[in-house]
Amino acid sequence: MKRLLSVLVALALVLTLVGCAPSNSDKAVAKMKKAGYLATASTYSEVQDDGAVAVVTGSKDSLSELLSSAYTATLYNTAKNAKAAYEKTKNAEGKSNCTLVGKWVVWGSEDAVKAFKK
C-alpha cells in the first residue's frame, strides 16, 4: 500500500511539473513576457539531430538586470530527447546548471528558471 501511494504521489508531481511547461515556443514567449522578461523565439525549420525544435532566449527589461537575469530554454520534440540533452549538461559530479522542465532544458538565472517553471 505504501508503495502504491508513493507511486501515485510521484506521478502527481511529474504531471504537475510537466503541466507547467509551455507546449510550444509561442506560449513560452508569452509566459516569460507576462513574468516581466524579454523573450525571443527561434524555431528550427527542421528537427535538429538532437531533437531540438526551438529556442527561447531573453532577460529582464531593465539595464541593471540585463546580464543577471538572462535565460535560454531549448524545446525538444520528445521528453526523451530533452532528458538526453539534459544528461549531457551534467559534470563529473552529476550536477548541472540546467533544469529539465517537460520537453524543455532551461539554463539561466534562478529567478528566470522559476518564472519559466511557474
What is the C-alpha to C-alpha distance for residues 99 and 76, in angstroms, rounded to an integer?
A: 13
**Residues 84 and 71: beta-carbon distance below 8 Å:** no
pLDDT at 17 (0 to 100): 46
What digits encode the pLDDT tens for the residues 28-85? 999 999 999 999 999 999 999 999 999 999 998 766 666 678 999 999 999 999 999 9
How is residue 19 annotated by DSSP? Answer: H
What digits encode the pLDDT tens for the residues 7-26? 545 545 444 444 578 889 99
What is the C-alpha to C-alpha distance for residues 97 and 74, in angstroms, rounded to an integer?
A: 14
pLDDT at 11 (0 to 100): 47
First to last CA, the chain: 32
What digits encode the pLDDT tens for the residues 88-111? 998 888 888 899 999 999 999 999
What is the C-alpha to C-alpha distance for residues 12 and 19, in angstroms, rounded to an integer?
A: 10
pLDDT at 2 (0 to 100): 56
pTM: 0.77
- 3 by Cβ neighbours in 10 Å (0-12 / 13-18 / 19+) ranks as exposed
